[in-house]
Amino acid sequence: MKLSDLFKVSLVASAVTLAACGGDVNITPTTVDNSVDNSVTNPDGGDNGSSVTCASYTLDGATFTGEAEGKNCVYSQAFASNAKEITSSFVIPALDDEGAHIFEGALFIGDDVDTSTGAVIDGDGPTLSIEAGSTIAFTKPESFIRIARGANIEAIGEVDKPIVFTSIAEVDGDDTTTAQIGDWGGVQINGRGHSIRCSADAAAQDMCNHAAEGIVSYYGGNDPQDNSGVLKHIVIKYAGFGVEGDELNGLTLNAVGSGTTIDYVHVHNGFDDGIELFGGSVDLKHIVVTETGDDGIDWDEGWKGRGQYILVRSNSYGNHGFETDGAKVDPLSTDGQDLVTTVSNPTIANATVVTTGDQGEEGRRTGAGMEMKEWGKAQLANMLFVNSSNVDGAGCFDLYNEKDQSGAAGVHANANNGDIAFMSSVFACGKNFEQVNTPLTGDLASFDVENWFTSGENNQLIGFADFNNVVATDGVSTKTTITDADGNVVAVTPKDMSEVDSFFTNAGYIGALQEGETGEWAQFVAASLARAGN
């Protein structure tokens, strides 16, 4: 029997409204868990003599085991659901013959606690370990993976054996079903790092509690170096769920600390953002986001991490390559409380955003290269934004000041003061900058964004003539020799960011990947583009 006959996925309505990041998600599950626990311990992890080994764990004296169905393992809501927090460590093994681990419900690892009630976070929570080459599929839009504060995920794939999180429609063996954005919820990690949502007093007492997206859980704390585990060589496809203003992302990192490793991650066809960061100080390296519904990378609530080698490509739909917020509250108005951290202020190097700016499937353009708003700050080096459109809303860069206006901590003031800065960056766009949303006044009345950019360290505006003038035949790699809109060769001097911070390597080029580059990162990009149908 085909797996699709066992699991009928509740797909998101075809007329989905894709929205910019908004408030917290509070999704009411559409599936009631009426399952009966008939899990048994099988020596080989399967049934009927099968040699397939499924995951299992023991909790409160009972053993829960996946059931082998042909080459796959199927996990009922008795094993995992949105009503069950698994507090035992276990391993999801790789399966032979392209077998998949199929979950009927959400997979919540660790005990989620509200410390304001006196509950204490278990700093030695369980670990979910996933072997290289594993494929994990979910059958419902509201089902997602959640790692609680104090718990860990150890998902370490390899360039030729990535760990894939996807929709049941991709593995069900039924040619009549097609995976779509929003088929399942995505991956969410709740950390104990800093968030601008938390006061210094609350953090000192380990009383930070901010409600995360999805079924209510909590994040935040006072440990910038908090370690939630490792995601390496990971693929997340067709994830995210919600309605306008209430969305889950491909990968959501809530106050995740710098002890966590996020490296070689590809997010494809997500409902909302590819990766969204709410506070924390986790670093990102070797990231690819393709054709996601909203923004490629979105950060907020005081994220202080670093990022290098980030590629965002949007040909069909999407919003911005990067959307960046400082906070959802004015940092100069905190009701008399000192916050545990300040506004978002990451350092990003070697990123490429390639978009068309065309009208997307949901009536939205494939967006600007980057939008900065709400008191945010950032240092940006070796950035390459390529956009063929010249229409409003699809410009390469936007300082959006609807909320912070001409304030002393607003985005225009931050740019003017050097708290937002581009270095060795190139815009190859039909439209370089969006118009100011709210007219600037006072000392900022004469601020000119183009002059600000070109006055920076080795930045250049080269215009757009053809994608082939800037990127190689793969559509994303920076050409060894690039030309401007008039066909003139452009000499670009990349910045050696390793001299600034040891996290960074000296790429020796602008953008995420150089034409002709070989090695693990080049292989990962090529594999990601192949998965995206490029």
Query: Whole-model pTM?
Result: 0.91
* Contact of 301 with 323, CB cutoff 8 Å: no
Q: Supply the pLDDT for residue 38.
A: 37
What string of DSSP letters covers 211-280?
A: EPSSSS-EE--S-TT---EEEEEEEEESB--EETTEE--SEEEES--TTSEEEEEEEES-SS-SEEEES-
User: Is 399 strand, coil or helix?
Assistant: strand
* Contact of 454 with 397, CB cutoff 8 Å: no
Q: Supply the pLDDT for residue 247.
A: 74
CA proximity to 276, closest of 219, 341, 334, 349 = 219
Conformational region of residue 60, where left means phi above 0, alpha means psi within -120 to 50, and beta covers everything else: left
- Tell me the two tokens of residue 506: 């000296």
Domain limits of the chain?
106-531
What's 63's DSSP letter?
E
Q: Output helix, strand, coil percentages for the chain, rounded to the nearest 5.
A: 10, 30, 60
Q: For the chain, list residues with pLDDT below 50.
A: 1-49
Q: Supply the pLDDT for residue 35.
A: 40
Backbone angles phi, psi at 311, to 5 degrees: -120, 125
Distance of alpha carbon 456 from alpha carbon 372, whole angstroms: 17
* Contact of 101 with 125, CB cutoff 8 Å: no
Conformational region of residue 452, where left means phi above 0, alpha means psi within -120 to 50, and beta covers everything else: alpha
Q: Supply the pLDDT for residue 51.
A: 85
Q: Supply the pLDDT for residue 325.
A: 92
83-109 pLDDT, tens per residue? 999 999 999 999 999 999 999 999 999
Q: Supply the pLDDT for residue 357.
A: 72
298-318 pLDDT, tens per residue? 999 999 999 999 999 988 777
Q: Supply the pLDDT for residue 248.
A: 87
Q: Supply the pLDDT for residue 363.
A: 52
497-529 in b/e form (b: 16+ CB < 10 A) is beeeeebbeebebbbbbbbebeeebbebbbbbb
Q: Supply the pLDDT for residue 338.
A: 87
